[in-house]
Amino acid sequence: MNKSASNRRQVLGTTLLGACALSMGLMAAPAMAQGNAKVLSIGMPFSPLSMDPSISGNGRAGVHLSPAYEPLLRTQADGKFAPGLATAWQLSADSKEATFTLRQNAKFSDGEPVTAEAVKKSLEYFVGKKGPFAANFSAMTGIEVLDKFKFKVKLSVPQPALLSLFDAYFNSGDIISPKALDNPAQLASATFGAGPYKLDTAATITGKSYTYVPNEHYYDKSRVKWDKVVVQVFEDQNAGIQAMKAGQLKVLVSDPFTGNANAANLPSDLRIVSDPVQWTGLVLADREGVFQPELKDVRVRQAINYALDRKLISTALFGKMAEPTAQLQSKGFLGYDPEIEKRYPYNPEKAKALLAEAGYPNGFELKLQYVNNTLSRFLTMAIAGQLKKVGIRPVTEEFQNFGAMLAAERSKKIGALMFNSNSGVPNLARFQTLGKGSLNFYKTEDATLTKLMDEAALLPLDKAEAAWKKVYAHAAEIAWFAPVVASHTVYFASSSVKMPRIGQSIVVDVIDMVPAK
């Protein structure tokens, strides 16, 4: 790196990390000490959209569901499945059917037995609510109950990654009690799962703190390691760090920016658990030009990609907890292609030329939006500074939570959104990220992209690498996104808690956060 680039990195890093440090000094840790060794206290960067799995967020945003809802399967760090409510599973040779056998001693927290009929009712409710992940089941033709503890999910087209839909990640695997589904309004603020814990609504403050107690009906009481689990909301991660240092939290669900800022000065009883499983950057959402007309032109979206000095941002903000990237898959995940990294080298002059070709020689105002959390706030600042250099004038808008973001989506008032999402099985990303799922706010369709995805999705996962590389290369070409870094999922953990490696499980299930001794 030349001297000029080094200076830019130093200035960017000093400015933003200094702002972070200032924030740390101003935020006082909440007085909610959790010194009891039998209490697992977890800090979260945002509150849940809902306690209803069908309309809640997933991944890190689904941590609130993890204590109470047992999935059918659990995905382990190596990508293999482990039993949850299901003890056996089989994907048909044509990838159109998945058959599950349930354990016979599982009960929901309301005492109802977990049966094939109960699972059928839960999945049908999930699809019928048309929440953010219902698109995953667009090809489902039905659920056949084979006997009391065995059922089959049927699709109209092949889905080689069908089994992955029934782990905890996309929430559809979080099975809900049939008795609770008779009055689904109660799902928003209480839990009715078959997990190791249940929400104690009397000890819960919505949006602030969520308390869970053991589910007396859980099938394996040896795995219930805590008398209580308390999930607290820390929208400012630095307040969460202070709570960790004060012993008020045992685990903090965090981000690579906060991880990098604090890695060098953690006390001996705290550590970072992380893995590179995410991409972080811009969703150039309004490809239809409804709210932000300029984004309809592919040249404008490409210009935004050329305007980003990914290496500078990655090094200054994230250190060793991210790598610069221009694609949606991280290394080690199906479809990652090092050739895609060459598509958008940092080139502000190229960005200006593309803007001029598109009819914006003097740039334009870009609505640059983000959900309020530490990572998004500081990365938005960095991106805004770089876009200004090519004539794009960001007008930032902060959504206080995901609910506010979704309200803007419903009103078709999303332009460019700072966001982060996970790498994973690309067969599922075709629904959520590149298809008409939760990150395609205007339901845009590109004929070539759809064709490539359909072709790739027909192939067994072990033979689909080349086909998915074509998909992600074309996604980069049409610039629906402007990824900046391949980032780590980050947790801060006390030495009193044992945590597994993250890997392809993407997030750590609360049941796997156990006492160290």
Output the pLDDT for position 13: 54
Q: Pairing between strand 481-494 and 322-324?
A: antiparallel
Q: How far is residue 492's CA from residue 264's CA, in Å, rounded to a whole number?
A: 13
SS3 387: helix
Q: How far is residue 219's CA from residue 104's CA, in Å, rounded to a whole number?
A: 9
Output the pLDDT for position 428: 65
What would the 3-class secondary structure string for 333-369 be?
CCCCCHHHHHCCCCCHHHHHHHHHHCCCCCCEEEEEE
In sequence order, what E strands does 31-179 have?
A: 39-44, 73-75, 81-83, 86-91, 97-102, 140-147, 150-155
Q: How far is residue 308's CA from residue 290's CA, in Å, rounded to a whole number?
A: 24
| Buried b / exposed e along 163-186 (16+ C-beta atoms within 10 A) | bbbbbbbbbbbbbbbbebbeeeee
Q: How far is residue 441's CA from residue 361's CA, in Å, rounded to a whole number?
A: 28
Output the pLDDT for position 33: 40
Burial class for 362, CB neighbours closer than 10 Å (0-12, 13-18, 19+): exposed
Q: How far is residue 418's CA from residue 383's CA, in Å, rounded to a whole number?
A: 9
Output the pLDDT for position 61: 82
Q: How far is residue 11's CA from residue 5's CA, in Å, rounded to a whole number?
A: 10
Output the pLDDT for position 427: 64
Q: What is the pLDDT along the chain (517 residues), one digit of tens a residue?
A: 454 555 555 545 544 544 444 333 333 333 344 456 799 999 998 888 899 999 998 887 889 999 999 999 999 988 899 999 999 999 999 999 999 999 999 999 999 999 999 999 999 999 999 988 888 898 999 999 999 999 999 999 888 889 999 998 888 999 999 999 999 999 999 999 999 999 999 999 999 999 999 999 999 999 999 999 999 999 888 899 999 999 999 999 998 989 999 999 999 999 999 988 888 999 999 999 999 999 999 999 999 999 999 999 999 999 999 999 999 988 888 899 999 999 999 999 999 999 999 999 999 999 999 998 878 888 999 999 999 999 999 999 999 888 888 899 889 999 999 998 877 777 666 667 888 777 889 999 999 999 999 888 888 888 889 999 999 999 999 999 999 999 888 999 999 999 999 888 888 999 999 999 8
Look up residue 329 and give its amino acid.
Q
Both structure tokens of 387: 């876009």
Output the pLDDT for position 28: 36
Residue 475 CA from chain centroid, whole number: 19
Both structure tokens of 189: 């603020």
DSSP state for residue 492 in the 8-state scheme: E
Beta-carbon count within 10 A of 132 CB:
22
Output the pLDDT for position 23: 39
Output the pLDDT for position 235: 85
497 contacts 513 by C-beta, under 8 angstroms = yes
Q: How far is residue 385's CA from residue 326's CA, in Å, rounded to a whole number?
A: 19
Both structure tokens of 512: 């796997």
